[in-house]
Amino acid sequence: MGKGPQRKKTDQPKIRISQTTNTITTNSSGGAGVSAEKCPVTLQAKLQKSPLTVNNVPVELEKSGERYEIMIGGRSVGTLDLRISRTITNCSELGIRYKGKIVVEKEIVYARFQRIS
């Protein structure tokens, strides 16, 4: 393929379209489609330092209204913001689950959730 005046009349530009695989689409309560590709592999939320937030401690999520509370041993240590809570809700409707643990990086405490299915 040449450029400018060297281009042949039969040449056509290549348009590359990315191919998606394993797309599952369903209608959520908002009417917009949610696909499995929109469910991130990891999610994290910043937490306040406390005696319960020790590195590699498993955390659980408990729904409280529209948001999820981050629980360690039945005690709340934080709350996910509305955007992450909606993402987890939409992904759980597709059968995608998350497993969480506490991660401490440079004196900052995070609850990090990894997609497991």
For residue range 36-93, list pLDDT tens digits in order: 678 889 999 999 998 888 899 999 999 988 999 999 988 999 999 999 999 999 988 8
Q: What is the pLDDT of residues 24-39, one digit of tens each?
A: 444 444 434 456 678 8
pLDDT band at 10 (very low <50, low <70, confident <90, very high): confident
d(CA 55, CA 78): 15
Which domain, by its residues, includes 66? 40-117
Side chain identity at 57, as an amino acid letter?
Answer: V
> Is position 32 within any domain?
no
Within a domain: 60? yes
Total count of domains within the chain: 1
Is residue 81 a part of any domain in this protein? yes
CA distance linking residue 63 with residue 42, whole number of Å: 19
- Per the CB < 8 A criterion, the answer to whether 93 and 34 are in contact is yes
Is 104 in a helix, a strand, or coil? strand
pLDDT attached to residue 17: 65
Decide if 8 is inside a domain: no
Three-state SS at 31: coil
Q: Which of left, alpha, beta for 59 (phi over 0: left; psi -120 to 50: alpha)?
A: beta
112 domain-assigned: yes
23 found inside a domain: no
- CB-CB contact of 110 with 44 (8 Å): yes
Domain of 88: which CATH number? 3.30.70.2330
Handedness of CA 72, 44, 83, 117 (dihedral sign): negative
